[in-house]
Amino acid sequence: MNNRSACQHLLDAGPVLCLGASTVMADLYDAHLIADGLVVATVADEVRGWASVYVAPGDPHRKKEVKRAGAAAVGRYTRTLLATALPTPEPEPAAVAAIRRELERHAERKRPGRMARAGEHGGETYSIYEAGLRSICFITNDGGARHVAGMWYVTHQSFVDLMRRLVKSHQDVNRRQIVKEMQRLGRNGIDVGDVVNSVLDLR
């Protein structure tokens, strides 16, 4: 893998929502990594969908903060990440269908009997496909997606891993501030892809 592809990465919807939820981490990402970041069209659509999702009275499903994160991400990345989203390949490659089946099987094993929603795994499916095609890293907070990416020999990391990369390569980054931001996101129902209890978890 060359230096360029080692830096390039595809973001799933979860990491984009994390950026939308945290100006601190989005500023860091935009300063150091956005030039190497990509999303697929289905992920861009998913982020836009979260920006307009219905929040029931009392917010029983904890969607309010995720909706806010989606709206912030759309506002911030409409002319960058979301505008340059990789188009969905047509006709659908056979590998895409195979990846989707693996994601559905993995979800079924975790939650037997649950019916998958139409297009539920679209972002992960096309991201894994495109990351494998381009030999770049797939950034996702979904454990099932990371599992299937590994099955397809696709390099994968979580949003926390992405922040670890920034912390290690830029000494001026305030680690305590990053930890506090990640913990705040977790309290607000936004998955960061890993458990972060202290600065030691960013090593």
Which pTM value belongs to this model?
A: 0.93
Average pLDDT over residues 195-200: 94
> What is the pLDDT confidence band of residue 111, given thresholds at 50, 70 and 90?
confident
User: What does the DSSP assignment read for 5-68?
Assistant: HHH-EEE-HHHHHHHHH-HHHHHHHHHHTGGGEE-BHHHHHHHHHHHT----TT-TT--HHHHH
Q: Is 52 exposed, middle or buried (0-12, 13-18, 19+ CB in 10 A)?
A: exposed
- Half-sphere exposure of residue 84: CA atoms within 13 angstroms, side-chain side: 11
pLDDT of residue 203: 87
> What is the pLDDT confidence band of residue 3, given thresholds at 50, 70 and 90?
very low
pLDDT of residue 74: 98
Exposure letters 150-160 (e unless 16+ CB within 10 A, then b): eebebbbbbbb
Angle between helices 94-110 and 143-151 (to 10 degrees): 130
Exposure letters 55-78 (e unless 16+ CB within 10 A, then b): eeeeeeeebebbbbbbbbbbebbe
Average pLDDT over residues 164-172: 89
Stretch (H or E) spanning 157? strand 156-157
Residue 138 phi/psi, 5° resolution? Answer: -105, 120
pLDDT of residue 38: 98
Residue indicated by tokens 């920034």: 166
> What is the pLDDT confidence band of residue 113, given thresholds at 50, 70 and 90?
low
Domains in the chain with CATH codes: 3-202 (3.40.50.1010)
Average per-residue pLDDT in the chain? 92
Is there a contact between 163 and 182 (Cβ–Cβ < 8 Å)? yes
- Per-residue pLDDT reduced to its tens digit, 4-55: 445 899 999 999 999 999 999 999 999 999 999 999 999 999 999 999 999 9
Residue 11 phi/psi, 5° resolution? Answer: -95, 130
